Chains A and B, each alone.
Chain A
Amino acid sequence: EIVLTQSPGTLSLSPGERATLSCRASQSINSRYLAWYQQKPGQAPRLLIYGASSRATGIPDRFSGSGSGTDFTLTISTLEPEDFAVYYCQQYNTSPITFGQGTRLEIK
């Protein structure tokens, strides 16, 4: 099983700042099979990034993904108030499909 470890667990920033979220895999992943999701309280997750760096439909360009192998990053260039949420990375390279434990992005 591929274990995904996200860091930090909680990130406290202010609107307008830049956010950098990390996802590290226990073994190498084909970057085609790495996604990022955003989840707000009481809501279903929303796909942000697939294939490590491709934005999903309707996702603002302040969200970007990068990385390869075992290290992947989600960057939010300029935080908007609606961006404060929990973010999960997901690998769908091999079974079982797994998620990181999440990074909570909170308002400082």
Chain B
Amino acid sequence: EVQLVESGGGLVQPGRSLRLSCTASGFTFGDYAMSWFRQAPGKGLEWVGFIRSKPYGGTPEYAASVKGRFSISRDDSKSITYLEMNSLKTEDTAVFFCTRASSYNGYDSSSYWGQGTLVTVSS
């Protein structure tokens, strides 16, 4: 059974940093791109970024709203993907979801989602 478990969310002050982790199980982690999405309270879904599988370059791509502030990485030996968030703003407050793409490429639908972790940016 595919499982994705996010961790690392919490309350953080504006301008500070936070790292989210997503631990995967139930599939061959290295074969798939991993994506991050977020959902501000009461709002819709927003793509944050993804990282391709290593055989296809392992390269990340980001939404314009987070590019230069957020960084996605992966450790295939541990089946974990990370979302490093720097220079956080109040508008980054959201539930962050980790997902598994349907293929090696992040430009794909997300077959599996974690339960989400809440990040609150506030002073």
Binding site for B on A (CB under 8 A): 33, 35, 37, 39, 43-47, 50-51, 56-57, 88, 90, 92-102
User: Binding site of B, secondary structure by majority: helix, strand, loop or mixed?
Assistant: loop
User: A95-B107, A99-B45 are known contacts. Are A45 and B64 too (CB-CB below 8 A)?
Assistant: no
- The interface residues of chain B lying within 8 Å CB-to-CB of A102 are 44-45
* Residue ID in chain A nearest B65 by CB atoms: A96
The A/B interface has a contact count, at CB < 8 Å, of: 51
Binding site for A on B (CB under 8 A): 44-47, 61, 63-64, 97, 102, 107-111, 113-116
* Residue ID in chain B nearest A88 by CB atoms: B45
- CB–CB A96/B64 < 8 A: yes
* Residue ID in chain B nearest A98 by CB atoms: B47
A-B contact pairs, 8 of them (CB 8 A): A45-B110, A45-B113, A50-B102, A57-B111, A92-B109, A95-B107, A96-B47, A97-B47
